[in-house]
Amino acid sequence: MDEKKLQELRQKIDALDNQILEMLNRRAEIVIEVGKAKQKSHGEYYVPSREKAIYDRLIASNPGPFSDEGVRRVFREIISASLSLEQPMKVAFLGPQATYTHVAAMQQFGFSAQLVPLKSIPSIFDEVSRERASYGVVPVENSNEGVVSHTLDMFMSSELKIIAEILLPVSHDLLNLSGQSSDIRKVISHPQAIGQCRSWLEENLPDVPLVDAASTASAAQQAAEDAGVAAIASESAASLYGLRVVKHKIEDNPNNFTRFLIIGREIQGPSGNDKTSIMFSVKDQVGILYHMLEPFSKRDINLAKIESRPTKGKAWEYIFFLDMEGHIREQKIADAVEELRSLCQFLKVLGSYPKAR
């Protein structure tokens, strides 16, 4: 390609960039007006169902060659920057930085949100409850390792609601300062990450001690301070802590996802493709397990998950957590929940929110 033709193409790109910039600022002006209207009506300024509708509409009308995922990423940052114009958004997450919860928070809220790392799941609930943070991001289950019990336990005492969920594919890298496996004297990571890579570790580093850490990110921090330590962590942890990759994707099961919940103070409106979560404790009587599922079965409501946790007050009594497809404002969902309530010692609706893609 000759220089003249290249220059002409670059000028066309510059002209389009100027148009994009003009459109972004026009969009921002409207967003500011939306923020003022929400303040008058005391409406929630972050609405996951509205965000999902924007993504779905744009992807459905995307002719290419720009990829659908590229569209989603670009508009995630546009939406993130726009929301920061309405009101500064502070989001608490289970830290430190470069944990998978941090990655999930960035994926949901973009880089314009103020993402605040906290040391424990209870502290995240407390920060949102006291309105020191607008929202919180907490892990709730992994496809291989099961539920995060601390998160489920917090809903027993908290009035916070689930407003969205995130499904994040989890891929573990082995990291150290040199990038050489011969330098590894011990491997450090969160117990779940070690468990998810155990077969690979036994086959490739059978004589290397495995040490638990509070998080994958704290393991990366330790690896950055000791040349004999390798960490199992995310690829983002490598860049943040100045580490090199010894081996990419060492997880035993490549189909590894972690589900995260976004917690806030109000149940959101329907998006058209929602999930509702409830928790309840049933009365001890014959056939109660059958009867607690009957309200959903006879209304053809699909149950996505059911989990039980022992109560802390009395032995052999359980709290059930149930996810169903649909929104609590749908009549059949509301009717099923009310019928179940008649069988329960207590029942709490934890939230209705858009299903993760």
CATH topology match: 3-86 vs 268-354? no
Torsion of the alpha carbons at 209, 215, 216 and 220, rounded to the nearest 10: -80
| AA identity, residue 225 | E
| AA identity, residue 186 | K
Closest by CA position to 261, among listed 347, 336, 158: 158
End-to-end CA distance of the chain: 42
How high is the pLDDT of residue 183?
Answer: 93
Give the HSE-up count for residue 54: Cα atoms under 13 Å, Cβ half-sphere: 15
What are the catalytic residues?
A: 258, 260
Q: How far apart are CA 110 and CA 287, in angstroms?
A: 48
Tell me the CATH number of domain 90-170+257-263, given options 3.40.190.10, 3.30.200.20, 3.30.750.24, 3.40.1130.10: 3.40.190.10
Domains of the chain, by residue range, sit at 3-86, 90-170+257-263, 173-247, 268-354
Instruction: Determine what percent of the chain falls in helix, strand and coil, rounding each to the nearest 5.
Output: 45, 25, 30
Q: How far apart are CA 205 and CA 199, in angstroms?
A: 10
Domain range 268-354, CATH architecture: 2-Layer Sandwich (3.30)
Closest by CA position to 107, among listed 271, 236, 288, 247: 236
CB atoms within 10 A of CB 342: 10
How many residues in total does the chain contain? 357
Q: Which CATH class is domain 173-247?
A: alpha beta
How high is the pLDDT of residue 203?
Answer: 95
DSSP, res 355: P
Residue 167 contacts residue 259 (beta carbons within 8 Å)? yes
Q: How far apart are CA 162 and CA 135, in angstroms?
A: 10
pTM of this structure: 0.80
Tell me the pLDDT of the chain (357 aa) as tens digits: 688 888 888 899 999 999 999 999 999 888 888 878 877 766 676 788 888 888 889 999 999 899 998 998 898 888 888 877 777 789 999 888 888 899 899 888 888 889 999 989 999 999 999 999 999 999 998 776 677 888 988 998 899 999 999 999 888 999 999 999 999 999 999 888 998 899 999 999 999 999 999 889 889 999 999 999 999 998 889 988 999 999 999 999 888 888 999 999 988 889 889 999 999 988 777 777 888 899 999 999 999 999 888 776 665 577 899 999 999 999 999 999 999 998 888 899 999 999 987
Domain range 3-86, CATH architecture: Up-down Bundle (1.20)
124 three-state secondary structure: helix
Query: Residue 353 forms beta bridges with which residues?
Result: 275
Q: How far apart are CA 276 and CA 262, in angstroms?
A: 13
Closest by CA position to 324, among listed 267, 262, 277, 272: 277
Residue 33 φ/ψ, nearest 5 degrees = -65, -40
How high is the pLDDT of residue 219?
Answer: 93
